[in-house]
Amino acid sequence: MDIDLADLAFWRRPLKERHEAFARLRQLEHPVFFPEKKVPFLRSGSGFYALVRHADVVEASRDAKVFSSEPAVTNPEPPGWVKQVFGESMVNMDDPRHARLRRIVTRSFSPRMLSGLQDDIEAACQRIVDDVVEQGPSDFVRQVAARLPIHVICDMMGIPDDLRAKVHEHVDVSTAYTGVRPSLVRSVQLAGQNMLALLALQRMVIKLGHERAAEPQGDLVSLLVTANPDGEKLTDRELGSFFALLLVAGNETARNTMAHGIKLLTDNPAQRELLMADFDGRIGNAIEEMVRHVSPIMQFRRTLTQDYSLRGLELKKGDKVVLFYGSANRDETVFPDPDSFDITRETKPHVGFGGPGPHFCLGANLARQEMRTMFRVLLTRLPEIRAVGEPDLLLSNFDNSVRSQGFTF
């Protein structure tokens, strides 16, 4: 077989070729095993089984007791010292530790809390479009998609205005190292920059947490460092890890879906016309179709805690499986004509925010709210807005990130 998902060369292939490769893998009787290659500075295991069918990804996502997120969900796995320096992210935890952290932070994403953010999100979208009109169109990612999610997260957390430029800078650096390394020297540079950026973000919010613990205000940091009704609160390291996760995961999902989304609306004018004929009635499903089509996070890994039979494949305790969300979201048995962009299709089964189960994306509704508002403001105030040229994609096996996208209006 000329497909090797563990080979970095595969992720350099054109997107169309990769989609075709995953379609071939979905037709096979059993999940395929891919031996891992040696990657500088990261642990290299024996390899992993690729879960590429929608049903397999859903089954593994639902059974977190068997398909464990520990010791790490990224593939390859970061070295052990990373946890010692940065603390452990909740995405790399199983219950009961994961349940405790999720219990503490879930109240921050309640319908009441999100409803209270709408006026700020609306105002932020209007300011962003004001700036685009004043500056003229150049790069949709820099001028639009990258600005809104970080602004909203910083407002939620109570990050002071004078620190926000640094937050943007650190987030951009921290997401530049996501699985594909062009050379050994560049790997060292990117890994070091990534770690320093994450460390700076954590130190920033921990310092703020100490201030809010002494004098709580009406922001998310105050909420997280003061005890909930059960007497639970985040420690310094937990707060730092959560902030980094929120900025990276929360930012990337909305940012990349918006960047890909403007291209999808441009390339599919009939779908755009359909959306604008009944925006309020169709934007919700249009957002879900964008997330399905884009799959902002392309994969997560799980480790077997016991022997398990999956579609006739006998997995052993300790085996690794990788959940390929982008492939599951194009499974033709679930999504007819999966490569087409169709805002009227049934999108509810998509796994663009992760599969069903305890690790479903905590910020999914916030991301939906941001994208719904941003597209409404953009398409109302700039009705002729459209993408120009092809997007410049980050070379990655994990993050379907758009580095830049030309546009005009």
- Give the DSSP H or E segment for 67: strand 67-68
> Which residues 6+ apart lie within 8 Å of 105 measured at CB?
90, 224, 234, 242, 362
Within 13 Å and on the Cβ side, how many CA atoms surround 53?
14
* Phi, psi for 117 (deg, rounded to 5): -90, -15
CA dist list (Å): 352 to 43, 178, 280, 327, 392: 27, 18, 22, 10, 21
> Which residues 6+ apart lie within 8 Å of 181 measured at CB?
8, 39, 40, 187, 190
- Predicted confidence band at 179 (pLDDT cuts at 50, 70, 90)? very low
Using CA atoms, how far apart are residues 406 and 399, in angstroms rounded to an integer? 20
For 337-385, what is each residue's pLDDT tens digit? 999 999 999 888 999 999 999 999 888 999 999 999 999 999 999 999 9
Domain locations in the chain?
8-408
**Rounded average pLDDT over 283-306:** 96
Bigger pLDDT: 90 vs 24: 24
**Rounded average pLDDT over 155-167:** 84
What pLDDT, on a 0 to 100 scale, did the predictor assign at position 192?
57
Domain 8-408 has CATH 3.40.50.10420: no
What pLDDT, on a 0 to 100 scale, did the predictor assign at position 186?
45
Dihedral sign of CA atoms 269, 274, 276, 280 in order: negative
Which residue type occupies 278?
D
- Predicted confidence band at 116 (pLDDT cuts at 50, 70, 90)? confident
pTM score, whole prediction: 0.89
Report the candidate in 335, 406, 403 with the shortest Cα–Cα distance to residue 146: 403
